[in-house]
Amino acid sequence: MHMIRLVLATNNPHKVTEIRKILPESFELLDLRQAGVTEDLPETSGTIEGNAIQKALRVWELIGMQCVADDSGLEVEMLGGKPGVDSAHFAGHPRNDGRNIIYLLDQLEGGQNRRARFRTVLAYVQNGEVFTFEGTVQGVISNAQRGTGGFGYDPVFVPDGYEKSFAELPAEVKNSISHRANALKLFHDFIVKR
């Protein structure tokens, strides 16, 4: 496959690291700084899909390069799918991963159902045209934080089939089964077939 140059429309360096590890080396991936984009990308649509599309389209408008945006969220059954699109600010502003986790554990205290999933929507923009790819991973929210790897809610998310949290599992494991990995597989298949 020939080299594909792609901008990653995200300000989250953890996502960039994961996406670089998941996609093959035939992808030359530029982060926003490398692409010269300094503004905050819009995320005001109210849905994960909509935010992914907003971010990718904005980068396309600004620099006219093909790009992929990742918008993700944690959807917890007992909370009716929350925090979902509000995952980054679940415990309010300014965003803080540690406070978000404590707030989440508080909300689930005493409940019976701790099932949850992570969901990622990738929006790919090429020549102004938008394509989306969704990936999920099912699991449960643990009773306490465990592990130091990963980012965000990883210390309290235990994927189905494992006893350890995403923050305890090796990055290679997370990157082979995660919501982001599943969405990127679909994106990769699409690119290869195109």
# binding residues, ligand ITT (CB under 6 A) = 22
The DSSP line for 9-46 is: --S-HHHHHHHHHHS-TTEEEE-HHHHT--SPPP--SS
Judged by CB under 6 A, which of 7, 10, 75, 156 binds ligand ITT? Answer: 10
Helix (H) or strand (E) holding 144: none
Biggest CA–CA distance in the chain, Å, is 54
Residue showing the smallest CB distance to ligand ITT in the complex = 152
Q: How far apart are CA 160 and CA 137, in angstroms?
A: 8
Active site residue 189: no
- Residue 66, token pair as written in the block: 């093909």
* Burial class of residue 32 (count of CB atoms within 10 Å of its CB; 0-12, 13-18, 19+): buried
User: Is 151 a binder of ligand ITT (CB under 6 A)?
Assistant: yes
Q: How far apart are CA 9 and CA 19, in angstroms?
A: 12
Please state the closest distance from residue 137 (CB atom) to ligand ITT, in A: 9
Judged by CB under 6 A, which of 117, 119, 180, 188 binds ligand ITT? Answer: 180
Nearer Cβ to ligand ITT, position 169 or 191?
Answer: 169
Judged by CB under 6 A, which of 45, 65, 77, 97 binds ligand ITT? Answer: 97
User: Is 88 a binder of ligand ITT (CB under 6 A)?
Assistant: yes
Judged by CB under 6 A, which of 27, 60, 124, 153 binds ligand ITT? Answer: 153
Q: Which residues are part of the catalytic machinery?
A: 71
- Residues near ligand ITT (CB under 6 A) are 10-12, 15, 43, 70-74, 87-88, 97, 100, 118, 150-154, 178, 180
